[in-house]
Chain A
Amino acid sequence: MNTCSLLHIAGEDDREFSMSDYQGAQARWCSGCGDHSVLASMQRLLADENLPPEETVFVSGIGCSSRFPHYMTTYGFHGIHGRALPIATGVKLHRPDLNVFVVMGDGDCVSIGAGHWVHAIRYNVDMVALLLDNQIYGMTKKQTSPTTPQGYASNTQPFGSWLPPINPIVATLGITNASFVAQTAEWIPAHLYATLEAAHRHPGFAFVRVLQRCPHFTPDMFGDAPKNPDSVQLLVHEDGLNIEALETRYQDRVRHDPSDLDAARRFAQNEDKVRIGILYRNESLPRYEETRHVAAHTAADRVALLNEEFDRHAI
């Protein structure tokens, strides 16, 4: 989907992009880190969607996953901890023609930037927001995050996390104007890719939580789910995801209509299994950058209008 109107009008942009066109610096994540899988899926998606690299912006905060933009050849903004969403909001509000992707970790999104997360959902600005949730602070060496399971030991809470974790999907579904909410897992690439694709094509704020393990600090997260397909339940629907390639391996499939918000909340709340799929999708909610759209003005227009405005204050 090429959204640059200038190029469309000119009809000159017949470039075809491949995965390698989006590859940036060599990723420096640990071997076995789920981030690699997300990066590869994303580069494939951009190639498949043929997004011009110069019209695509990746915004991130701080943490392992926030190195993401450096490993892309697009425009990138590696910002400050927890504040990727306000930056991305500013980009899209000012330049609705750009494709905006946000990459956050669980510390970024659910802890220090939680206020921005809540409001970004409500603004419903058209962008893809990825929460790469390995349920621990990895870069700063194993501190408890808000999504760390209760009782899980870390360097800051060596006797186990004191509090039950926040469920980011339940929280997102509870916010006014939530328009796309999905959960996927780094160890199921076909599902990850399909989820990213649906998120990108969604007109609005697409929130995707990617369940990840940190090979150093949380390799045992999600129990046996990464190895045992019976511990994973796929939410399937003709309006959601229906991935043929996964049908043989994943037998536990349940139909869920992504327009059913109440059902989405029930599925999200129930944590007996690793449950992945599109929980909720509503394409009809107003997008903030459209609501706030203003017509462009020439400099001369502005001078004339400003003079009118000064007339009101004239003596």
Chain B
Amino acid sequence: MTTKLPMLEDGAQAPPECEILETSTHTVEVVSDPGEGAQRCGQIFGTISAKMGNGVWTVEIIPAEVQPPPRDPAAASGNRVRLGSGPVTNWGDRTNLVLAFNEQVLLHRHRLGTLENDATILLENRWAEHDDEDIRAEWIAALAELGKADYRIIGVPMHEECERLVEDPTLGKNMFALGLLCEIYERDVELSRQQIAFAFRKKSQAITDRNYLLFDAGVEWARNHLDFRVRVPASVSDEPTVVMNGNQAIAMGAIASGMELAAMYPITPASSVSHHLGGVFERFGGIIHQAEDEIAAAGVALGASYSGKVAFTITSGPGLALKTEFLGLSVMTEIPLVLVDVQRGGPSTGLPTKVEQSDLLAALFGQPGDAPHVIIAPATIEECFHVMVTARRIAETFRTLVMVLSDANLATGVQPFRRPDIDAAWQAPAADQSPIPSNGRPYEWDPRTGLSRRFIPGQPGGMHTVTGLAHDERSKVAYTSEINQRGSAMRSRKLAVLQHSLMPPSVNGDESGDLLIVGWGSTKGAIEEAVERARGEGSSVSSIHLRFLSPLEPGLKEIFRRFKKVMTVEINYSDDRDMPFVTDENRRRGQLAWLLRAQTLCDVDCWTRVLGEPLRPGAIHDVIRANLPEGGTE
């Protein structure tokens, strides 16, 4: 065998001279087999870093299978943490430092192209001399492949070091790993220990003590063997800050909005909203009902809304498809309802754990018949919190269905944000139980706005039967032409009214120029970072980011007019122009592009990818450069 192996460094034997790399942003990932705790390690590291005042964005690395065999490349499980001196708004481009529990999961990350060519790699080295000949061979082959890049690979005897301290190193090795990272990134030891204690607060003291021991060993090993440290200066602010992921923020926002009933059926990646609610909702007087299926979840939420305060249901793409008929019923009966769709890859079962923004048009047009309703997409984890308050209010005020489109990137990303200043007025008032005047009608539409007062069971004199059939102002079934036309107009008018209350989107960058990028949802941070980079190079590019997709925010046509070219950047599928058979007429476009073209008659282009991962600012930057008119860059 003549395979040339890369130099695998052993850590130095004595505390080495340290080189300190000072940088404004650094990305680190921890990867292991599932169950070895790399995710937990990364989460704790991210929280420690946020608490120290760094900007943080963490992304879960989720294995494709439920219980893959050990040391399988597809099994890579872990966490990727991007640190910054200022706020970090997205997961960034490539990873600068990797801590891998075996060479196979590392290989997976390498093959995906997620690592910087000069990345530093800390690699568990027990496999090199493993008893199993096959494993040794795999190790050699993997290192040969990795050797083609310019990585600096440092062997770490993680297993061996942990074995000295605990009986089963596979449990707790992640705390040794955490110790390594905390020493490398100069994290505060006391704070780190506090976070470990918090993460394992439901376990016994013995387990916490064991974790301290392993953590300290990791710190000690790094101190004695590693010749570099990474310093990402933090800017500690006095502003009260909280840190959580988007699904936690949605759960908290739902509570803050005063909604008291959620109905759901388990579906990835939406389920964790209900996990968070399941733990705390009852303390707030709320009920989370796990229904027998997605349809029933929508039905229970709608029935609950009908009988009092607005309720909500939580789902992802396949569940959205199943709930369709109930969503139409919500629109037709004008019973307010909030639906959260945490989007994942599609169509069908698609990519259950991965991010996509491909439900927009299904959310908007998925209900057979004309079913106007509201769609809002939070762009940050902070907005995941506030959007629930807004959604509840709009649903009640406009007697309408409000869909909140989040996605897997927001759902699992963890980011610090300004602690919300909770206002009791965000909460829904008690359900109106006052008597209805004798001439009251359950759909007494204001002819200008389509708005009407909702009658709630318990209100004396308000008895009527709501129906999904066409109906008049008294909710009587009516099939006459005039009444059907009027009911449709009234349900649609409400959206026009809502649109008049919205602000035009603010432009990031100059108000006019060569290129305008339009985004929605979780891509905001990556788009704005790319725009900033391009503007720094002198390019005339700006961006806007839409929160309201139905109705669309006002003033878009006016903004578009001021740019030579307008294009969307989205995580859904579109044909590239140069693909075979693709013409301007048959080209499938990004979903927002489709909508904007229809609504503004502007020639909106698009660039979209469905790679099962968030967009990288570097990739968007390339797109910006490629789409600037000739000479656009000075």
Contact = CB atoms under 8 A, between A and B. Distances in A.
Nearest to B260: A94
Interface string B449-469: 000000001111111111111
Given A292-B289, A294-B282, A296-B285, A75 B465 contact: yes
A79 B419 CA distance: 41
A93 interface: yes
Contact of A305 (B283, B458, B462): B283
Interface string A160-196: 0000000000000000000000000000000000000
B516 interface: no
Contact of A115 (B252, B293, B304, B467): B293
B476 interface: yes
Contact of B303 (A91, A294, A305): A91
A315 B307 contact: no
Given A57-B307, A86-B300, A70 B468 contact: no
Nearest to B301: A90
B81 interface: no
B363 interface: no
B479 interface: no
B242 A315 contact: yes
A78 B303 contact: no
A239 to B, nearest CB: 31
A70 B306 CA distance: 17
Interface residues of A, number: 56
Contacts of B308: 94-95
A83 B306 CA distance: 15
A58 B280 contact: no
Contacts of A76: 463-466
B458 A95 contact: yes
Contacts of A90: 261, 263, 289, 299-307, 311
Nearest to A82: B295
Given A77-B303, A83-B299, A294-B287, A299 B424 contact: yes
Given A90-B306, A95-B458, A313-B248, A78 B463 contact: no
Interface in A45-64: 52-55, 57-59
A55 B424 CA distance: 29
Contacts of B286: 294
B255 interface: yes
Contacts of B307: 57, 90-91, 94-95, 98
A78 B469 contact: yes
B243 interface: yes
Contacts of A249: none
B306 A98 contact: no
A80 B329 contact: yes
A301 B308 CA distance: 20
B498 interface: no
A11 B260 CA distance: 29
Contact of B261 (A93, A116, A295): A93
A46 B319 CA distance: 39
Contact of B422 (A292, A303, A313): A303
A225 interface: no
B200 interface: no
B325 interface: yes
A83 B301 CA distance: 12
B287 to A, nearest CB: 5
B293 A292 contact: no
Contact of B467 (A6, A53, A78, A294): A78
A297 interface: yes
A272 interface: no
B243 A88 contact: no
A307 interface: yes
B408 interface: no
Given A303-B424, A309-B252, A314-B419, A292 B241 contact: no
Nearest to B276: A309
B54 to A, nearest CB: 10
A24 B311 contact: no
A88 B302 CA distance: 9
B290 to A, nearest CB: 10
B244 interface: yes
Given A75-B457, A90-B300, A314-B419, A80 B325 contact: yes
Contacts of B424: 299-300, 302-303
B369 interface: no
A175 to B, nearest CB: 12
B242 A77 contact: no
A69 B287 contact: no
A27 B73 CA distance: 67
A297 B468 contact: no
Interface of B: 50-51, 53, 240-244, 248, 252, 255-256, 258, 260-261, 263, 280, 282-287, 289, 291-293, 295-309, 311, 325-326, 329, 416, 419-420, 422-425, 427, 433, 457-469, 476-477
11 contacts: A52-B460, A54-B457, A76-B465, A83-B295, A85-B299, A90-B306, A116-B299, A299-B425, A306-B422, A315-B50, A315-B416
Interface of A: 4, 6, 24-25, 52-55, 57-59, 69-70, 72-80, 83, 85-91, 93-95, 97-98, 115-116, 118-119, 292, 294-297, 299-300, 302-303, 305-307, 309-310, 313-315
Given A76-B466, A91-B307, 20 more contacts: A54-B458, A55-B458, A75-B462, A77-B466, A78-B465, A83-B296, A86-B299, A86-B303, A87-B306, A90-B299, A90-B301, A115-B296, A297-B284, A299-B258, A305-B284, A306-B252, A309-B255, A310-B420, A313-B242, A314-B419
